[in-house]
Amino acid sequence: MAQTKIDLRIKNLKEHLKKENDILCEVVDKFRELDKIAYKLGFLHPDKQSYAIQVSWWPMISVLGTYSAGKSTFINHYLNQPKLQRTGTHAIDNKFSIICYGDNKNVSTLPAIAIDADPRFPFYQISQELTNVADDDAEQHLDTYLQLKICPSEKLQGKILIDSPGFDADNQRNSTLRITQHIVDLSDLVLVFFDARHPEPGAMRDTLEHLVAKTIDRSDSNKFLYILNQMDSTAKDDNPEEVVAAWTRALAQTGLVTGRFYHIFNPDECVELPENVKERIEKKSQTDMEDIHARMEQIGIERSYRVIGMLEDTAKNLEQNIIPQIKGLLQRWKQRVIWTEISLDFIVICLIGLWFATTDNTVAGTWQQLIGLGTISLGTIGALVFIVGLWLHLKIGDMVANNILKKLQTEITDEQTREGLTRAFNKNTGTWNKLFIWFVDNPIGWSRKTQQHINEVLGSVNNYVQKLNDKFTNPSGSNSIDK
Ligand SMILES: Nc1nc2c(ncn2[C@@H]2O[C@H](COP(=O)(O)OP(=O)(O)OP(=O)(O)O)[C@@H](O)[C@H]2O)c(=O)[nH]1
Ligand SMILES: [Mg+2]
């Protein structure tokens, strides 16, 4: 069988997963087993859809913030790759860098187009997505906005980091603002950096409005961490507590009163600290840095459990929602067709009865007359009745099916489920099932064996959770924990 785009994408996905987490590689196969069931049911389109690609396999952590706040320096330090992202005192990078794990020795930079072909992203065809959100000419200039960096740091296993250009609400190009928004929406964790050297946070009200005020009312607001960076520089000239207090007030004015506000500096870049504050500042920065790193680590581990949870949810959804819905539609169709036909038969019998009752004709007499016409034989009458009956039967089957489909479009709000149910229902209302509608019971592609198959997939979930526990609790004492 020819390989579909989906097959290629899955193959690619497994190759990447193999390098990072072999358990998840097996989980892909389980998703594919569910795919096969859904294809047979007609619920998923075999060339275009797969449960496996609906999963966000690599969680995203994005790093946003003001110009020169130290975003890139923070990423380089976290990954222990001093040369990964360019850093400097004035804005040098105006691209979003999407940073992924790769097992080559060196860091490699690939153009934006490479992002499309990489199945690690939680969205299919990112360039298309970004073209939609960015300027009209963004498609040609996608390379000016995005680049993909492949980096061998083990810390990147199981996650994607995004470094963004410095944020300045006044000078920001519309497209960059929209891309930032899109990335924020897709991220599992967002680190928002501020530069403690700017003593007047009030002067950047618009920027704070964008980076803070718009984030606090979101349902996923706990994914945002606010970080005041370069605390070492500020400690040299000002009282650091006052700087923090000024920032806390500025943030409170934008509405941020809860949630943690971290104060850090980068130990690789640290200027000499005054003795009276050195210990205090260093300790605070260290614990805050550890907390931030722990949140980042957690994202990688959480995703493995989340993916397995999704496998369980998908199998249960198929068994407990989709199948009953398809069955329900089929029953509705079958009953309505049968009742329409019974009603129609009843009406015809009544009409014939009425005709006999209101005319002088008798049943036997009419019968004799029909046969007596000589041109029509008994066989021909039988065949005619059969053909008209069959035609009517198929027509009624079609009409009722169309009626049910029309209702389905308003009954089911979720687009993907609606499309899937429509496709599965169409598959079940073909000529064969229309002809033998009385025997229609189980949806096509659903049998006791399929049920067993789903049970097996559900049974494997506990097994995977156990394997992950073993991996992350690391009972062997080995240091290399895959994420
Ligand atoms: N003293 C000190 N300097 C820092 C710290 N973090 C970063 N820097 C310096 O600040 C400058 C800006 O750092 P970057 O990491 O390039 O900042 P950025 O936020 O990525 O900047 P853009 O991408 O241009 O917005 C560089 O010269 C860094 O060496 C820190 O914690 N303390
Ligand atoms: Mg930078």
pLDDT in tens, 235-287: 877 778 888 888 888 878 777 766 678 999 999 888 888 887 888 889 999 99
Ligand 1 pocket residue status of 288, Cβ below 6 Å? no
Q: Ligand 1, residues 269, 284, 285, 292: which to mutate, most atoms within 8 A of Cβ?
A: 269
The CA 164 to ligand 2 mean position distance, Å, reads 7
336, exposed or middle or buried, with CB in 10 Å at 0-12, 13-18, 19+? middle
446 pLDDT above the threshold of 90: yes
Ligand 1, atom 32, lies closest to the CA of 230
- What is the Cα 66 distance to its own chain's centre? 29
**Residue 329's closest CA among 234, 427, 413?**
427
Sign of CA dihedral 138, 139, 143, 147: positive
Ligand 1 centroid vs 269 CA: distance in angstroms?
8
List where CATH 3.40.50.300 sits in the chain: 60-273
Contact yes or no for 89/50 (Cβ under 8 A): no
Which ligand has an atom closest to residue 229 CA?
A: 1
Distance 156 CA to ligand 1 centre (A): 21
In angstroms, the CA 57 to CA 303 distance is 7
**Residue 306 — pLDDT band, cuts 50, 70, 90?**
confident
pLDDT at 75: 96
Please state whether beta strands 108-111 and 146-151 pair in parallel, antiparallel, or not at all (unpaired). Answer: antiparallel
Q: What is the largest CA-CA distance in the chain?
A: 123
Q: How confident is the model at residue 393 (pLDDT cuts 50, 70, 90)?
A: very high
**Ligand 1, residues 63, 64, 72, 93: which to mutate, most atoms within 8 A of Cβ?**
72
- Number of the ligand 1 atom closest to the C-alpha atom of 266: 31
Token pair for 441: 């019971």
Residue 73 CA: which ligand is closest?
Answer: 1
- Range in 9-18, 129-138, 233-242, 425-434 the model is least confident about: 129-138
How many angstroms separate the alpha carbon of residue 77 from the centre of ligand 1? 11
164 lines ligand 1 (CB under 6 A): no
Query: Of the ligands numbered here, which is closest to the C-alpha atom of 90?
Result: 1
Q: Is 68 in the pocket of ligand 1 (CB under 6 A)?
A: yes
Six-digit token pair at 111?
């153009």
Task: Decide: 94 in ligand 1 pocket, CB within 6 A.
Answer: no
The per-residue pLDDT for 477 is 43
- Over the stretch 105-134, which tens digit does the pLDDT of each residue have? 889 888 877 777 677 765 555 566 666 655
Atom 12 of ligand 1, nearest CA residue: 68
Whole-angstrom Cα distance, residue 339 to residue 336? 5
Give the strand pairing for 96-101 and 160-163: antiparallel
Nearest to 242 by CA among 205, 199, 279, 275: 199
Nearest CA to ligand 1 atom 30: 230
Length reported for the chain: 483
Cβ–Cβ under 8 Å, residues 265 and 285: yes
* Banded model confidence at residue 482, pLDDT cuts 50, 70, 90: very low
Q: How far is the CA of 463 from the centre of ligand 1 (A)?
A: 45
Average pLDDT, the chain: 84
Q: Output the residue whose Cα is nearest ligand 1's atom 4.
A: 269
Q: Quote the percentage of the chain above a pLDDT of 70.
A: 87
Ligand 1 centroid vs 86 CA: distance in angstroms?
Answer: 10
Other residues' Cβ atoms within 10 Å of the Cβ of residue 25 = 16
Q: Looking at this protein, which amino acid is placed at residue 64?
A: L
Name the residues around ion ligand 2, CB cutoff 5 A: 71-72, 93
CA of 332 to the centre of ligand 2 (A): 60
Ligand 1 pocket check for 356: Cβ under 6 Å: no
Angstrom distance (rounded) from CA 461 to CA 464: 5
Mean pLDDT lowest among 222-226, 311-315, 346-350: 222-226
Q: What percent of the chain has pLDDT over 90?
A: 41
Both structure tokens of 169: 């609400």
Q: What is the pLDDT of residue 289?
A: 96
Least confident of 40-49, 81-90, 197-206, 306-315: 197-206
Closest residue by Cα to atom 7, ligand 1, is 70
Pick from 46-55, 104-113, 395-404: least confident: 104-113
Instruction: Kindly indicate whether the domain formed by 60-273 is annotated with CATH number 3.40.30.10.
Output: no
Q: Is the CB of 93 under 6 A from ligand 1?
A: yes
Which tops the pLDDT comparison, 357 or 400? 400
